[in-house]
Chains A and B, each alone.
Chain A
Amino acid sequence: MTTSTTRRALLLAAVLAAGAGFATAAAAQTSIKIGYVLSRTGPNTGGAAVTTLPNYEMWAKEVNDAGGIKLGEKRVPIEIVAYDDRSSAEEAVRGIERLINQDKVDFILPPWGTGLNLAVGPILAREGYPHLAATAVTDKAPELAKRWPNSFWLLGTSTGAAEALVDLLVKLRDEKKIGDTVAMVAIADGFGIDLSTAARPALTKAKFKLAYDKSYPIGTQDLAPIINDVKALNPDVFVAFSYPPDTLALTEQSRIAGFNPKIFYTGVGTAFPLFNQKFGKNTEGVMGIGGWSGDSAAIKDYLARHKAARNGAEPDRWASAVTYSSLQILQQAIERVGKVDRAAVIKELQTGSFDTVIGKVKFENNLPTRYWWVGQWQGGDFYGVAPAGNVGARAAIVPKPAWVAP
């Protein structure tokens, strides 16, 4: 479907360009060509299909329905060129090179995931394309932003994530709501290891007792042994830096084993709508990475539009909204510059402040200043609870209510 509309748009653009004559066609922009490379097949598909693709498609449609992006006095429609990177770094790199050199796109939207965003970073930097990475969590973000001034890291660093979690735990311990034993597991992949490596010293520094600290490989199909061992240690806090399939498996196994710590925190996937579909009432009190200010009007509106545009499918409550915001930011920056001038757009991104569904965003050294790091399922929806200073942060429900029979 995308292809045929793209084709038609291309044809239209070609006809327009021919009609207008070469000289004027070069002078006046008749459309803005935007390209992206996403994992449509391979192991990354599950993440990209929930968080990234729906937002890219929805945004492009919304912009064109409104007449396009405003360049100076008039609006010009956007044309989308999309490729599949098959979850491979090499394909992603080549896809981006094709977008730049063959399709000559005006702007590029980033791929999904930390690894692929890093893989395409150097080319985007070399060619001077703005790079708004909305699905990458890396501790190198500040360093990368310095190395590649065109890159913006909207999800922040794993240290930030770990410290926000530990801060919340410290506060709850001070309120005497939890004790000080923590069990931590992490998936043996970039995400899990970065986060657990950052959380370990933070927990020790805050004088928490780390009773269990293990990793498990990607593709582990039964996490019961881990949950059984952890349950035997009876910790107050269970932290899992996990991926969607294991997030679901760990939660299900804990419910079956009757393992109900005061704080139950899982990783990527906790904020997915699938989590709610699967666990229903049992989501109550489960914490996870991410979150959003679900009470804000902008988010409610975004949720409604997403459901309408995607046949009832809901976005996840973390990176989806950030991804959509990154598109709003890009659009506003282009409109303020008023022409396809990538260097000027990058400059505007670095200095301007932008209105988005996640609130006002202003970059400092190419990183946002506020993030949602801990969310919690409360009354059937997932809300941000930490950092507590964020606008719209809810109070955490601690201890987590007991599991109920499904």
Chain B
Amino acid sequence: MTNAILTGLMLGGMYALIAMGLTLQYGVARIMNLSYGEVLIAAAFGAQGLFTGWALSPFAGLAFVIPVAFLLNLAIYRVLLSPLVRRARTRDALEVDSILATFGLAFILQGIMLSMFGGAYYSYSYLASPVHLFGETIAANRLAALAVCILLGGSLYLALTQTRGGTAIRAVAVDPAAAQLVAIDVARTAAFTFALGGALVASAGVLISTFLTFSATSGVVFTMKALIVVVMGGVGNMLGCLVAGLLLGVSEALVASLIDPGLTLAVNFALFLVVLLVKPAGLFGRASR
């Protein structure tokens, strides 16, 4: 039981980690980013390359991957997405446009990775050693991912709620039109937040590459997982993201050891559906927008 909860927390931390970037990109920058998982996989390839090529630890690799991802995502937003944002008259129109555009972007990123790395599976071992915690044995790399997730999520939560810039970001998330009236540069804030989301998902990619097997085509799995967590927690809500991720992780681990590992994903989806039926805007979402 303790073991199942511990494993569940770590798995949940991973879910929250991969979803945090999306909750910013979708909640604040209003881009429903279907190429999200591809960015994650690209970062995983980056970490793998740094590790096998230059024996650079993935945690040191973060220092390299995060700024690169931030700048790349900023460029993507400025070049590809801001014309759509400027053109869109309603939020619905932007949603449709961003779905189509990022779907195309996902194809491009995947195609580039396929031509660079082929379709084969990649995996390497880093920090794959046992750690003893509360009398249970768990994997060090997964524990590290959970720690980084809590660290990143916690500091982002504080930054969003306690700082001026964070308040501006939240204002844009709630109502971009009204935010403009109080002298917030909505376009810049949105671009910054999108890039920040990209940097977050890249760090998630680096961390999970230490324990998950990935290939150039496995991005879509993470996109969908992230969307589920984001929606379940309430779009744009950091805390909701964390809680939803942990809830999914713990329920999955509990079902696996108490009921049947064959039902884990079914229970995950059922839990998600039930949450939405009870709270149509997610756990921490506002009732209507």
Question: CB–CB under 8 A between A and B in the complex?
Answer: yes
Listed from nearest, the 4 A-B pairs whose CB atoms lie closest are A45-B119, A49-B119, A225-B256, A245-B213
Q: Assess the B114–A41 pair: CB atoms within 8 A.
A: yes
CB distance from A183 to the nearest CB of B (A): 12
CB distance from B23 to the nearest CB of A (A): 19
B10 at the interface (CB under 8 A from A): yes
A45 to B117, CA, bound (A): 12
Q: Assess the B137–A255 pair: CB atoms within 8 A.
A: no
Interface string of A38-76 (1 = CB under 8 A from B): 011111011011100100000000000000000000000
Q: Known A41-B114, A214-B261, A217-B264; judge A225-B7 contact (CB<8 A).
A: yes
A244 to B129, CA, bound (A): 21
Q: Known A40-B114, A43-B217, A46-B217; judge A224-B265 contact (CB<8 A).
A: no
**Which chain A positions have C-beta within 8 A of B218?**
43
How many A-B contacts if CB must be within 8 Å? 121
Main secondary structure of the interface of A (DSSP, over half): helix
Q: Assess the A225–B125 pair: CB atoms within 8 A.
A: no
A and B contact pairs by CB, cutoff 8 A, 26 listed: A41-B119, A45-B114, A45-B216, A46-B215, A215-B261, A216-B262, A216-B264, A221-B14, A222-B10, A222-B252, A222-B253, A224-B138, A224-B253, A225-B257, A225-B261, A226-B261, A244-B213, A248-B121, A249-B211, A256-B128, A256-B139, A257-B130, A257-B137, A272-B121, A274-B123, A406-B125
Considering the complex, give the chain A residue whose CB is closest to the CB of B261.
A216
Considering the complex, give the chain B residue whose CB is closest to the CB of A403.
B130
A302 at the interface (CB under 8 A from B): no
Interface residues on B, range: 35 or more
Considering the complex, give the chain B residue whose CB is closest to the CB of A231.
B137
B102 at the interface (CB under 8 A from A): no
CB distance from B258 to the nearest CB of A (A): 9
Interface string of A228-258 (1 = CB under 8 A from B): 1100000000000000110011001101111
**Which chain B positions have C-beta within 8 A of A257?**
130, 137
B49 at the interface (CB under 8 A from A): no
**Which chain B positions have C-beta within 8 A of A214?**
260-262
Interface string of B115-131 (1 = CB under 8 A from A): 00011111111001110
Q: Assess the B257–A248 pair: CB atoms within 8 A.
A: no
A188 to B217, CA, bound (A): 21
Binding site for B on A (CB under 8 A): 39-43, 45-46, 48-50, 53, 185, 188, 214-217, 219-222, 224-226, 228-229, 244-245, 248-249, 252-253, 255-258, 269, 272, 274, 277-279, 405-406
**Which chain A positions have C-beta within 8 A of B10?**
222
CB distance from B229 to the nearest CB of A (A): 13
CB distance from A140 to the nearest CB of B (A): 24
Considering the complex, give the chain A residue whose CB is closest to the CB of B214.
A245
Q: Assess the B217–A222 pair: CB atoms within 8 A.
A: no
CB distance from B146 to the nearest CB of A (A): 12
Q: Assess the B211–A220 pair: CB atoms within 8 A.
A: no
Partner of B11, one of A46, A221, A277: A221
Q: Assess the B139–A219 pair: CB atoms within 8 A.
A: no
Partner of A274, one of B120, B128, B221: B120
Chain B positions 253-289 with a Cβ under 8 Å from a chain A Cβ: 253, 256-257, 260-262, 264-266
Considering the complex, give the chain B residue whose CB is closest to the CB of A249.
B213
- Chain A CB within 10 Å — which of B14, B114, B119 has the most? B119
Partner of B7, one of A45, A228, A244: A228
- Chain B CB within 10 Å — which of A42, A45, A248, A278 has the most? A45
CB distance from A83 to the nearest CB of B (A): 15
**Which chain B positions have C-beta within 8 A of A405?**
129
CB distance from A208 to the nearest CB of B (A): 21
CB distance from A127 to the nearest CB of B (A): 28
Binding site for A on B (CB under 8 A): 3-4, 7, 10-11, 14, 110, 114, 118-125, 128-130, 137-139, 142, 211-213, 215-218, 221, 249, 252-253, 256-257, 260-262, 264-266
Considering the complex, give the chain A residue whose CB is closest to the CB of B266.
A217
- Chain A CB within 10 Å — which of B125, B142, B216 has the most? B125
A216 to B252, CA, bound (A): 11
A185 to B261, CA, bound (A): 10
A256 to B140, CA, bound (A): 9
A244 to B212, CA, bound (A): 11
Considering the complex, give the chain A residue whose CB is closest to the CB of B10.
A222
Q: Assess the B120–A278 pair: CB atoms within 8 A.
A: no
CB distance from A139 to the nearest CB of B (A): 21
**Which chain A positions have C-beta within 8 A of B266?**
217
Q: Assess the A274–B265 pair: CB atoms within 8 A.
A: no
**Which chain B positions have C-beta within 8 A of A46?**
119-121, 215, 217
Q: Assess the A225–B130 pair: CB atoms within 8 A.
A: no
Q: Known A40-B114, A228-B7; judge A253-B139 contact (CB<8 A).
A: yes
A319 to B64, CA, bound (A): 39
**Which chain A positions have C-beta within 8 A of B11?**
221-222
Q: Assess the B128–A255 pair: CB atoms within 8 A.
A: yes
A214 to B262, CA, bound (A): 7
- Chain B CB within 10 Å — which of A49, A185, A255 has the most? A49
A252 to B121, CA, bound (A): 16
